[in-house]
Structure 1
Amino acid sequence: MYGNVIQHPGNTDVRTNRVHPVEEDNSKTSTVTRADHPLYSQLKNYMFFMKLGGVFHDPPFADVGKLESAFWKSWHAIVSLLSVFNFVRYIPEIWKPDFYPGLIYTEIIMSAFFFHCMCIIIAFYVMCSKMSGFLAFFEHNQKYCNSIDSRTLRCVPGKKQTKVEVNIAQAITVVCTAACLAILLVFALVFETPDYHSQSAPWTSTASLVITLTIGTLIANAFMSYTFFFCLVCRYLKKQFNLLAKTFSEMLIEYENGRGEFVDEQLYVSIRKQHNHLCDSVVKADDCFSVFILSVCSTQIPLIIFLAYQCLFSPGDISEKFGYIFWLMINCGCVCLVTIHAALLNSEIHDFNNKVYRLTAFSTMPCNNRLIPIHILFLSRLNGPPVGFSVFGLITINKEVLVTLVGMTFTYFTLLVQFE
């Protein structure tokens, strides 16, 4: 009923249970074109939008021309240097709190934001340039898609739905970046608050305003686009696991309705292999995004605490606090998007547990007992270390960690209020 499944050569053999390793040569330039990657093809519009903003460039695909590759890579490098410059020029204000009296929290907020953007822009520049970065992730996901028979298991999410999500992400990024620029203009030109001077320091001329707005636009675009790019990748991987889970559920229904004495041997082995291969894709994606998540957790969460304090207890009328309120909403939204999508992906990966537990060893055991070791391997992977996106490999983001982060944020905000 399910058709023939093409087995991937790097997985466990059904008869001998021997593992044949797949050799990866990262020393050579990829011979695969961008069009061969389903994930790249579906997200290419948003990645092109990121390239225009100077926060992304194509990994070393075979069909990327030298001039095209050099242009986007150079533009990404320039924006990376501007992000370093933007943080370094603000360092004197961190060490001279008496220069602008009463702005200690603003200095902490601005320095954390500049440092966050600098870290993720540089990290993405390195990951786009390395053979073991985004290129390795794209190629591994492509191998997963090519290793199964599309007549049996659907592995590529629908292009129409993904296209809608990409368009929505682009629209929100543009709107939020424009809003951030408008807030900066209002603060600089209308209210003339010291915040503008601290952002432009040590230059407060008209020319410095132009420089500040230019860099601020690029930084704000990076801040928003990386968040939505991460969410789009999470949703794509989550859909792939979901499609695999649906096939597994159909197999369970066949068995539980008594249409077969045992589960479909070939399909069960294939699903286990594809789940393992897809988990490896998540691991390679985590190598690219772990620094981004570390930056979010180490800078954005403290930023939320100080922004909430500024909104509630800083002097000034509501017109001056509007910028802080807007910034607080943007930061809360970005942190929630990143952590929730990472937790949902982890949950989708390990939700196979409930389905596999519905099968006993005897339900997977034909006369030759070949499926029992595979059944145990599947359970071991699902019950083993959590698979998903991590904070620099230190802790994997799941639902429990999500609750911990929320509790930690409220706890430290309460302590900050009590110290006041």
Structure 2
Amino acid sequence: MPSRKISVTTVGMISGLESSKMSWGSEHSNDKLTPQEVKRSNCLVSALRPLLLSMSLVGLFDIWKIQKYGQEPRAHRRAFFKLYQIFIICLFVFNLIRFFFAFQSFEFGSELLATVLLQTWFMLCTSYALICYKMIENPTALIRFFTQWQKYWSLVRDLTGECSKEQACSWKRIRKYASVATVIGWSIVIGNVGFCSYTIITGTAFTNMLDPFSRSHYLFPLTLSIFHVIILYLSCAWSFITAFMIVLILSLYQEFKHFAERLENLTHDKPIPEVQENLEAMRVEHNALCNMIDTADGVLKHLVGLCLVVHVFITLILIYNICWYEVIRTDIGQLVSHIFWLSGNSSMLIAMMAVCCMVNIQAHEPAKFIHNLSMKEITAEFALQVNVFLHRLNGAPIGITAWSLFVIDNQVVVSVAGMIATYFVVLLQFQQASTTTNSSVNGTVV
């Protein structure tokens, strides 16, 4: 790596070049984006195009608005797409309100939990759609995040002299992630629609799925067709928005990983003067990555929080129903359907927590290399650089949060796993107690 000497005389003070390059990190106070910034953001939008295009086709995103942000759009096209998004949200809200009529009995049991399961899933997908609509209507934060990513690579080239090959590899990797996520997303959508269709037609496990519309009504075929359309769009919201979160966070992890590898190469078995000449540049780059994380968290924190909480709840209900709902255990089709839903739900939950945890770990990884530096014959200037860097690395957790309440790290993953195991045991004990009580009552009656 070509060296670049940077002089630091006070804490946080960097040279004029680095100051100008890092000025974009404090742009959050300015909501206006220049045409150059919008153009930069299109690089990442292009890399994510397969996924964003699929989301746009089902009214969850507007890739064309992001690409043409700040330009005068075609009024009729923009109005049509906005109405399309609003129509999808209204469809979700109508379905959510309709299904409240399915709660005819609140007696605890598998049937009530199955109804709660569906209503919770409807609420999750509706909330996803509303958050994405708000994100697109005011896309400044999202575009700023895309812009910061491009500026980060410009900063890397200016400070290290690295060629654009690394950046091209980064965009290709993101495109690969987006393409794979799109294929998996459509597979989940097709599978979910198929299993929901089977459940509706058989009418065994979810007898109230179409309430308050009766199966005996002469318009039942039309009602069934409309509900299939709703299920299709709900499935798209469930799979594609989760995939969007995972792809973005996984891509951020790769950037931190690439940074940690370059820092390790810089500090491993290198003389202190050479390390000193480049350490401040690396600190500036890490600062840029942390700013990207902060902006990404502002965009994703509500989606991540919903994904974490609701998927844990749905996972518990699915496990309980598979174990104790007799209709599901005796019908192979229903059993396969619930196993599919449990696999998809738990996979999304695990993947989301895993990538968030990986970002948190990798963001603090440079501390290990800094601690391994030799402290012999170091100057006061270099000691100051090391202290400033370590203060950030050992300070507040860096990562993606759930509603800004807590950073999702390995402790959260362990806590969620423990919570699922604990509440599953509680549910099993509750069921066993209920079964024992019913047996005693029956024996007394006899």
The verdict on a shared fold, with TM-score over 0.5 as the criterion, is yes
Do the aligned partners of residues 234 and 159 (structure 1) sit closer, same or farther apart at CA in structure 2, a change above 3 Å counting? Answer: same
2:97 match: 88
> Quick one: which amino acid aligns to residue 44 of structure 1?
R
User: Residue 234 of structure 2: SS of its match in structure 1?
Assistant: helix
Do the aligned partners of residues 261 and 272 (structure 1) sit closer, same or farther apart at CA in structure 2, a change above 3 Å counting? Answer: closer
User: Residue 147 of structure 1: SS of its match in structure 2?
Assistant: helix
Question: 1:209 aligned to 224, 231, 249, which one?
Answer: 224
Do the aligned partners of residues 301 and 171 (structure 1) sit closer, same or farther apart at CA in structure 2, a change above 3 Å counting? Answer: same
Do the aligned partners of residues 371 and 65 (structure 1) sit closer, same or farther apart at CA in structure 2, a change above 3 Å counting? Answer: farther
Question: 2:49 aligned to 37, 44, 49, which one?
Answer: 44
Do the aligned partners of residues 327 and 131 (structure 1) sit closer, same or farther apart at CA in structure 2, a change above 3 Å counting? Answer: closer
User: Residue 89 of structure 1: SS of its match in structure 2?
Assistant: helix
CA contact (8 A) 2:102 2:209 kept: no
Which range moved further: 160-169 or 106-115? Answer: 160-169
CA distance in structure 1 between the aligned counterparts of 2:277 and 2:357, rounded to whole angstroms:
31
2:440 match: none
Please list, as runs of the form range in 1=range in 2, the aligned pairs for 1:79-228 lying within 5 A after superposition. Answer: 79-94=88-103, 96-97=104-105, 103-149=111-157, 151-152=161-162, 154-155=166-167, 157-189=169-201, 191-193=202-204, 195=206, 197-204=207-214, 205-228=220-243
| Total equivalences in the alignment | 407
Matched, 1:76 2:85: yes
CA contact (8 A) 1:227 1:334 kept: yes
User: Residue 177 of structure 2: SS of its match in structure 1?
Assistant: helix
Aligned-residue CA RMSD in angstroms?
2.9
**Bigger fraction of residues in helix:** 2
Q: CA deviation at 1:6?
A: 11
Please list, as runs of the form range in 1=range in 2, the aligned pairs for 1:19-418 lying within 5 A after superposition. Answer: 22-24=26-28, 26-28=30-32, 30-32=34-36, 35-37=39-41, 38-58=43-63, 59=66, 61-63=69-71, 65-67=73-75, 68-94=77-103, 96-97=104-105, 103-149=111-157, 151-152=161-162, 154-155=166-167, 157-189=169-201, 191-193=202-204, 195=206, 197-204=207-214, 205-253=220-268, 256-257=269-270, 260-316=271-327, 317=330, 318-362=332-376, 365-366=378-379, 369-418=380-429
CA contact (8 A) 2:44 2:171 kept: no
User: Residue 408 of structure 2: SS of its match in structure 1?
Assistant: coil
Which range moved further: 152-161 or 309-318? Answer: 152-161
Q: Which has the higher contact order (CA 8 A, sep 6+)?
A: 2
CA distance in structure 2 between the aligned counterparts of 1:303 and 1:210, rounded to whole angstroms:
26
CA distance in structure 2 between the aligned counterparts of 1:32 and 1:69, rounded to whole angstroms:
22
Which range moved further: 324-333 or 148-157? Answer: 148-157
CA contact (8 A) 1:177 1:224 kept: yes
Do the aligned partners of residues 112 and 348 (structure 1) sit closer, same or farther apart at CA in structure 2, a change above 3 Å counting? Answer: same
State the percentage of identical aligned residues.
20
2:434 match: none
CA distance in structure 2 between the aligned counterparts of 1:381 and 1:215, rounded to whole angstroms:
47
Gaps of 5+ in 2: 215-219, 432-446
Q: CA deviation at 1:156?
A: 5.6
> Quick one: which amino acid aligns to residue 14 of structure 2?
V
Which range moved further: 173-182 or 128-137? Answer: 128-137
Q: CA deviation at 1:3?
A: 5.2
